[in-house]
Amino acid sequence: MIHVGIVDDDALVRRTLTDLLTTESIGDIQVNWAARDGQEALDILRSDGPDADVQVLLLDVQMPRLDGIALAKVLQRERPEIATLVLTTFVADSVVDRALAAGVRGFIAKEDPVETLAATIRHVAAGNMVLSPTSSTMVTGKPTRESTTPNPPAQAPQSAQSTAQALPSGVTLSPRELEVLTLMAEAKTNRQIARALGVSDATIKTHVSTLIAKLGVQDRVGAVVYALRAGLI
């Protein structure tokens, strides 16, 4: 069972998310509590209450007293085992950068369907970094591709010249690295990417680590955000 906390200053959003996640069709997620702002959430997490501990926190960005990113920064220091997931209707570049620096593991739009929300929660609870399709659109300002098959082929890589212009100086990406990056942007796990490309999980793990290092980012979501902004995929 994945235990979740919701932090949003809108009472309707808190109630709606709780109701959506508390259904028979989603049997592996339990909403333990909902807080009105980051300070209330922090008080709950620091308490000895039986339901205080959670594995995933759904955070609004703008809240009184302590906003979502400020809360994520505190938890990065005090409770790094908790996965933080930003809920939003708009993602400005500055918000994305601050959230990634604060250790946020993913972004999801409030209008995403409950199936996407549940899948994203499962991904971050498993230690993955995730951008939902709708939140990817918010980050880049352009639509993302919809997957129509269980293992869709990766997009054809850009030309070498256009790819080089979008990368840090002196950095190049192989066609296979671009394939991996494209599948990462579709929120696929290392195992799913390995199956799609017909290689081992260890090989994909190495590719992901190399991409993070080459792009000069901190984590998987940072690599995807960089690639989307730069038009690499």
In the chain, the percentage of residues whose pLDDT exceeds 90 is 39
Residues 182, 133 within the same domain: no
Question: Which residues, other chains included, contact 35 with Cβ-Cβ below 8 Å and sequence gap of 6+?
Answer: 5, 6, 7, 41, 44
Residues 118, 192 within the same domain: no
Confidence of residue 133 (pLDDT cuts 50, 70, 90): low
Residues 7, 101 within the same domain: yes
CATH number where 220 lies:
1.10.10.10
Examine residue 146 and state whether it is found in any structural domain, yes or no.
no
- For position 91, what pLDDT does the model report? 55
Following CA atoms 223, 228, 75, 41 in sequence, which dihedral angle do they give, to the nearest 10 degrees?
-160
Q: Which of 123, 121, 120, 107 is nearest to 224 (CA)?
A: 107
pLDDT in tens, 179-193: 998 888 776 788 889
Examine residue 154 and state whether it is found in any structural domain, yes or no.
no
Residues 78, 128 within the same domain: yes
Higher-scoring residue by pLDDT: 77, 98: 77
Residues 7, 76 within the same domain: yes
Residues 62, 11 within the same domain: yes
pLDDT in tens, 78-97: 999 999 998 876 656 667 77
Rounded Cα distance between 76 and 144, Å, is 30
Examine residue 20 and state whether it is found in any structural domain, yes or no.
yes
Examine residue 125 and state whether it is found in any structural domain, yes or no.
yes
The distance from CA 56 to its chain's CA centroid, rounded to whole angstroms, is 12
Number of domains forming the structure of the chain: 2
Helix (H) or strand (E) holding 108: strand 106-109
Averaged pLDDT, 107-135: 80
Higher-scoring residue by pLDDT: 134, 182: 182
Beta bridge partners of 107: 86, 131
The residue range of the domain holding 94 is 2-140
pLDDT in tens, 213-231: 998 887 787 888 888 777 7
- For position 98, what pLDDT does the model report? 82
Domain end (from 105, 140, 175): 140
Following CA atoms 103, 133, 186, 77 in sequence, which dihedral angle do they give, to the nearest 10 degrees?
10
Residue carrying the six token digits 């017909």: 198
DSSP conformation class of 35: E
Rounded Cα distance between 107 and 230, Å, is 19
Q: Please say if the pLDDT value at position 195 is more than 80.
A: yes
Q: Please say if the pLDDT value at position 141 is more than 70.
A: no
In this prediction the pTM is 0.68
Say if CB 181 and CB 227 are below 8 A apart.
yes
CATH number where 120 lies:
3.40.50.2300
Following CA atoms 162, 229, 148, 158 in sequence, which dihedral angle do they give, to the nearest 10 degrees?
10
